[in-house]
Amino acid sequence: MDERTDLTERFEEHRSHLRAVSYRMLGSLSEAEDAVQEAWLRLNRSDTSEVENLGGWLTTVVSRICLNMLRSRESRREDSMEAYPTDPVVSREDTVDPEQEALLADSVGLALLVVLDTLAPAERLAFVLHDLFAVPFDEIAPLIERTPAATRQLASRARRRVKGAPAVPDADLSRQRQVVDAFLAATRGGNFDALVTLLDPDITLRADKAVGPSPAPIFLSGAVTVAKSAMAAMERAQSTQTALVNGMVGLAMAPLGRLFLVLAFTIEDGLITGIDVIAEPERLRELDLAVLDA
């Protein structure tokens, strides 16, 4: 009994770290909890008397579990865009509290989770373990059956995807971000007047489909009309973050870290002159999304 109690206590010391690794690997808190639980079961079935670094051993085990889950997910196409939630305020049955997961997704970074979701399983593992948790490449390589050099290349390729490449100079990108950040802040805060001041009087908004019961595309024009539409999405704005969209500053709405829609902006002289709302799965798949530096 004492040995089991000791093992349990030692595992609990590493639980939060294992969950952090699993969540960034899987992008789902419920799946992350499953991976951590499986790691615990494997620990109970294993002889770890000669294991000097239990934390490292558990990280390797949970990483293998996550990798298998990612590969299984990919082969079954469970994570296709068509399977993404149709309502940004979504709950899952038999899983963790959606509010808890939403808070965790926001703390990790919705844009990061979205971009990680576009990576191949081996790329995601190499990037997450090395760049986010400082695991050496020679320890990651055996997990994906690659050489350390090949693993380094995978992580580098993933890093380029995550960081992206701006389509405009840094100064222009900074000005774009100021406007988009102000748009998001006004929408989240329900500040109608502040939002109108950011919009060109003749602004146009195009959406490839409506967010709601009607799938038909929509077209809006005029600052007041567009601002009213944005105010109607105030609750959804809570699950929205800035991201690099085809090299320009935009917004990605990702409830629970799952991409739902993207807003691409046209900005001229500090005012938003056009908004393209992209929600069609095929169009979303074609976007080049990346994480903006803090």
Residue range 137-157, pLDDT digits in tens: 999 999 999 999 999 999 999
Which stretches of the chain are DSSP H helices? 2-26, 29-45, 54-76, 98-108, 110-116, 121-127, 137-144, 148-163, 170-189, 192-198, 223-232, 281-286
Range 111-126 average pLDDT: 94
Task: Give the per-residue pLDDT at 38.
Answer: 97
CA 175 vs CA 102, 208, 277: distances in Å: 29, 27, 21
Predicted confidence band at 79 (pLDDT cuts at 50, 70, 90)?
A: very low
The answer to pTM > 0.85 is: no
20-41 confidence digits (pLDDT tens): 999 999 999 999 999 999 999 9
Chain centre distance of CA 81 = 14
What domains can be seen in the chain, in order of their start residue? Answer: 2-163 (1.20.140), 170-290 (3.10.450.50)
Q: List the beta bridge partners of residue 220.
A: 205
Structure tokens at 62: 């949970």
CA-derived radius of gyration, the chain:
21
User: 3-state DSSP call for residue 278?
Assistant: strand
Range 48-75 average pLDDT: 93
Select from 278, 265, 259, 261 the least CA-distant residue to 167: 265
Task: Give the per-residue pLDDT at 74.
Answer: 80
